[in-house]
Homo-oligomer: A and B are copies of this chain.
């Protein structure tokens, strides 16, 4: 395993959730036309449709808190797989909802974009 994928994965997720929680209209830069998002039972493809979906989610204030973050190299060409479990605080709700999310990151020049993104709330 290379030395750097954990750092990339951690920095990516912190940036992603910070951007999501402050202004999710700007998340499009992290996706490409071939990117896929499964958000609960919805399936979207392409940066434009993915961001439309994320922007349309029915909350104003949102905060992600990471509980666990685990990364592995996913290909010889530098792909990285990250699984996050965490908590989501929405609007004025007192109780956080637990979620699980996986990102498949593909290198692109000096940066990475999201090829696969699967998000699920953990109902109990």
- Contact B124–A70 (Cβ < 8 Å): no
Asked if A62 lies at the interface with its beta carbon under 8 angstroms from chain B, I say no
Asked if A67 lies at the interface with its beta carbon under 8 angstroms from chain B, I say yes
Shortest Cβ distance from A105 into chain B, in angstroms? Answer: 11
Give bound CA distance, A27 to B95, whole Å: 39
Asked if A63 is at the interface of the complex by the 8 Å CB criterion, the answer is no
Q: Are B98 and A81 in contact (CB under 8 A)?
A: no
Question: What are some 22 contacts across the A-B interface (CB < 8 A)?
Answer: A1-B43, A1-B45, A36-B72, A38-B70, A38-B72, A67-B122, A67-B123, A70-B120, A74-B115, A75-B75, A81-B104, A81-B116, A81-B118, A83-B83, A83-B102, A83-B118, A85-B120, A85-B122, A98-B98, A98-B124, A100-B100, A102-B102
Interface of A is mostly: strand
Q: How far is the CA of A102 from the CA of B9 in the complex (A)?
A: 15
How many Å from the CB of A112 to the closest CB on chain B?
15
* A96 to B78 Cα, complex, angstroms: 37
Scan A54-88; emit 1 where CB is below 8 A from any B CB, else 0: 00000000000001101011110000010101000
